[in-house]
Amino acid sequence: METGRLAALARPLAVTGVGLAAALGGGLLYVPGGVAQGSGPQAPAAYLLAGGGVACLAVAFAVAAAGPFGDRGPVYGAVARVWGSRPLGALAAWPALAGYVALLALLAEWLGRLAPLPAGTGAYVDGTLGAPTGLAAVLGVTSLSPLVADGLAVGVCALALGVHLLGVRRVALAVAVPAWGVVVVATALLGAAFVPGVGEFVAGNFDPLYPTSGLRRAPVRALVGGTGAALFAFVGVEAAAYAVADASEDGEVDAVGGAPVLAAAVACGVVSTTAFVALGIVDWTRLNLADIPAADAFAAYLPVEPVGLTVAVSVVAGAAALVAIGVPASRTLAGLAELFPPLSRGPGDPPLASLLVVYGAAAALAVADLVASALYVAAPGLALSYLAVAVTVAAMPSRRPDLWAACPVRPTGRAGRLALAGAVAVAASLLGVALARDPATVLGLSLHRVSLSVFDFELVSDPLGGHVPALVAWQLLGVGLYVVLRDYRESTGVRLPPLGDSDGPEPTDPAGGDDAERVAEP
């Protein structure tokens, strides 16, 4: 009996851990970072409001993930079925795929270079700019040749792929353990540092609440701007929805359906508390100059070395993220498999062909030094897919009430409508900010910011003119690929079932034999 109860509890926590691992990256200890620079002592409130908004977005993803869309995923499957358009579904999932693969490539390159830390103010003052940092400093490695760094990047991608080959349950467990470990350790350190430090600096840091003339002139604008920036700290929590979709195939959706919302809530609590404690126990002047705000706050009252702590947390969280982000990346590609039947061949649990493609592409981007260019599509691509899912789920009750009724997880009443409206607003805000700023600024607001240390000024330059033309070019490429794949299906006799059918037959790919008979409706 006790074993059964533990298993019933472990599964939702493991699925939630996928979302936490994908969001945490390696940058938790850099909170409040850029958000505090814009919103001042209001930064904890900005993170709290942003986390609440992302929880609304997580509700939309939870509905789509648990819905009757088979293995087509919460983006392609939901958008294509609800709106009755495969091209629309493909154009929603295509930028998400680019975003996830770009993040995988970023993490692979960062780990391949032995996880360097961003250069801080101290490096400029001490004259140590360019010296080894991160894991390289811990291991005593002065430099790595490009060939060795590329080999390590390929190696970590291969290791992550190997973890996925253990099966979806073991993958969830493998990323949940380090993710929850980081959450528990960070929470313990926050409490231990806050207790002795609360009486010394809190009053001085939060009174006055608006210490600068800019904040005093427009406090509400500063809070709104800080909230918009803080939204990016939670990019990745939707990965739990893709793990929910895997669990739904095993009939466990009732137990794990709320995992995306739980992941958003836990991330919100940890990040907001980290911002509050960092602002509360380090005086404002010193905090503005702190290289690693939260780690410096811990070191102010605890016998910990901030850089060493940051290296440990960043490497563990970054490695977990490399595996966790492979879940939405591979499931997004697998969802598009009906458009190209060969992707459906081979084992489906895990989706071997899709995993090989996404990790192979990530390794190739790292080796070819194309990660910086790919990151121009990362944030806006993910935000565009968020908006597609949010709008689709909000419209589902009126447009496709049959699909809505078949969703085991769905919000109801006024609170449900407000949550879905909030999801649309949050996704639109993310897309607007992502398109308006350069990749260094946008990704620097996420918890993957530490990985950006592998770049100098590549993300400030303007390949293709910026985010908007890069995203447009990627979508045009997707349109061209869709047309090519349509012609391929026509030439091979593959017929896709009507999108309005609930349980249409699975057509056969005449050229592929039995292994290709998996072209199901989305």
Q: How far, in Å, are 39, 205, 223, 375 from residue 42 at the CA level?
A: 6, 11, 7, 30
What pLDDT, on the 0 to 100 scale, is given for residue 118?
A: 85
Instruction: Write the DSSP assignment of 307-345 as a string of letters.
Output: HHHHHHHHHHHHHHHHHHTHHHHHHHHHHGGGGSGGGG-
CB atoms inside a 10 Å sphere around CB 137: 18
What pLDDT, on the 0 to 100 scale, is given for residue 516?
A: 36
Indicate the DSSP class of residue 369.
T
Q: Which residue has the tokens 């992502």?
A: 434
What pLDDT, on the 0 to 100 scale, is given for residue 276?
A: 86
**How far apart are the C-alpha atoms of 298 and 314, rounded to whole Å?**
16
What pLDDT, on the 0 to 100 scale, is given for residue 127?
A: 53
Q: Which residues of 474-487 are buried (b: 16+ CB within 10 A; e: fewer)?
A: bbeebeeebeebee
What pLDDT, on the 0 to 100 scale, is given for residue 199?
A: 61
Q: List per-residue pLDDT tens for the chain, 522 residues long.
A: 455 555 567 788 999 999 999 998 778 888 887 787 778 788 899 999 999 999 999 999 999 998 888 788 899 999 999 999 999 999 999 999 999 999 999 999 999 999 998 876 555 555 556 677 888 888 888 888 999 999 999 999 999 999 999 988 899 999 999 999 999 999 998 888 877 766 666 666 666 667 677 777 888 888 899 999 999 999 999 999 998 877 655 556 666 788 899 999 999 999 999 988 888 776 656 666 677 888 888 887 788 888 889 999 999 999 999 999 999 999 999 999 889 888 877 666 788 899 999 999 999 999 999 998 899 999 999 999 999 999 999 999 999 999 999 998 889 889 999 999 999 999 999 999 998 888 888 888 899 989 988 886 566 655 556 788 889 999 999 999 999 999 999 998 888 888 865 433 344 444 444 333 333 333
What pLDDT, on the 0 to 100 scale, is given for residue 521?
A: 38
What pLDDT, on the 0 to 100 scale, is given for residue 121?
A: 56
CA angle 328, 339, 477 (to 5 degrees): 80
Is the CA virtual torsion 387, 445, 27, 143 positive or negative?
A: positive
Indicate the DSSP class of residue 68.
S
The answer to whether residues 354 and 73 touch, using CB atoms and an 8 Å cutoff, is no
CA angle 19, 21, 24 (to 5 degrees): 105
Is the pTM higher than 0.85? Answer: yes
Q: Which residues pair with 372 in a beta bridge?
A: none
Q: What is the dihedral of CA 45, 50, 55, 60, to 10 degrees?
A: 160
Q: 498 preceded by cis ω (within 30°)?
A: no
Q: Can you list the alpha helix ranges (DSSP code H) found in 348-466?
A: 352-367, 371-399, 401-406, 413-436, 439-444
Indicate the DSSP class of residue 73.
I
Percent of residues, the chain, with pLDDT higher than 70:
83
The answer to whether residues 67 and 78 touch, using CB atoms and an 8 Å cutoff, is yes
What pLDDT, on the 0 to 100 scale, is given for residue 512?
A: 43
Here the tokens at position 365 are 């981007």
* Contact partners, residue 23, CB within 8 Å, separation at least 6: 233, 234, 235, 236, 237, 239, 263, 267, 447
